[in-house]
């Protein structure tokens, strides 16, 4: 998605060789008009697929999933929780996910009633890094007996291997911008 790449180059900041900040439109401030374009692009990529449910994970994934839902006919959006609020049912599917950025391990949880057997689930998220969160979401879908239609991410950091891991496990991955590496502080996109 050319407009996305332009914005990453213009507004994004590379931190070290691993981290990319896009706080001006995706992770802290949200450009909702642009998020709609992102949603439309996901719908184009997954055209022809039945999507009964969009699955994401808090925090920034929520904005992406909510903006995209209308282009999939407004299926339910479910966001996995990283912490267990006192209001949450303990009757949940759960899978661990390590965050390399935060150096923590979270257990992602979705209440059982919010994913159904045979649901066609599309996983959406803001970033694909090492694939930990996406893998946890596929595990949650698997526990529910749901079918994973694919995994759509706004920005893929290909150098962190998430795509390779997910594709090896048999999942279709669509990223709207794929970053090959950060070289001398510069963001280099994949061909």
Q: Select from 30-38, 146-154, 161-169, 170-178 the region that touches its own copies (CB under 8 A).
A: 30-38
Q: Select from 67-75, 134-142, 154-162, 164-172 the region that touches its own copies (CB under 8 A).
A: 67-75
What DSSP state is assigned to residue 191? -
CA atoms within a 13 Å half-sphere pointing along the CA-CB vector of 139: 16
181 binds its own copies (CB under 8 A): no
x-marked contacts with its own copies along 109-138 as a string, rule CB under 8 A: -xx--x------------------------
- Which residue carries 């694939």 as its tokens? 131
The answer to whether the CB of 161 falls within 8 A of the CB of 132 is no
Contacts of 78 (CB under 8 A, 6+ apart): 53, 54, 55, 56, 110, 114, 115
Q: Which residues bind its own copies (CB under 8 A)?
A: 15, 19, 21, 23-24, 27-33, 35-36, 58-60, 62-63, 65-67, 69-70, 74, 76-79, 81, 85-89, 101-102, 110-111, 114
């Amino acid at each position: 998605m050319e407009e996305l790449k332009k914005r990453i180059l213009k507004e994004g900041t590379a931190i070290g060789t691993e981290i990319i900040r896009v706080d001006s439109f995706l992770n802290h401030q949200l450009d909702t008009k642009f998020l709609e374009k992102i949603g439309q692009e996901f719908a184009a990529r997954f055209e022809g697929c039945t999507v009964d449910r969009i699955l994401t994970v808090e925090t920034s994934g929520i904005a992406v999933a909510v903006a995209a839902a209308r282009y999939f006919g407004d299926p339910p959006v479910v966001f996995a929780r990283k912490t267990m609020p006192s209001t949450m049912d303990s009757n949940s599917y759960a899978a661990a996910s390590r965050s390399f950025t935060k150096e923590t391990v979270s257990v992602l949880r979705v209440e059982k009633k919010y994913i159904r057997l045979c649901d066609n689930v599309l996983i959406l998220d803001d970033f694909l890094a090492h694939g930990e969160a996406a893998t946890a979401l596929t595990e949650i879908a698997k526990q529910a007996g749901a079918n994973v239609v694919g995994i759509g991410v706004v920005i893929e950091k290909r150098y962190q291997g998430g795509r390779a891991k997910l594709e090896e496990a048999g999942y279709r991955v669509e990223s709207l911008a794929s970053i090959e590496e950060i070289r001398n502080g510069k963001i280099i996109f994949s061909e």
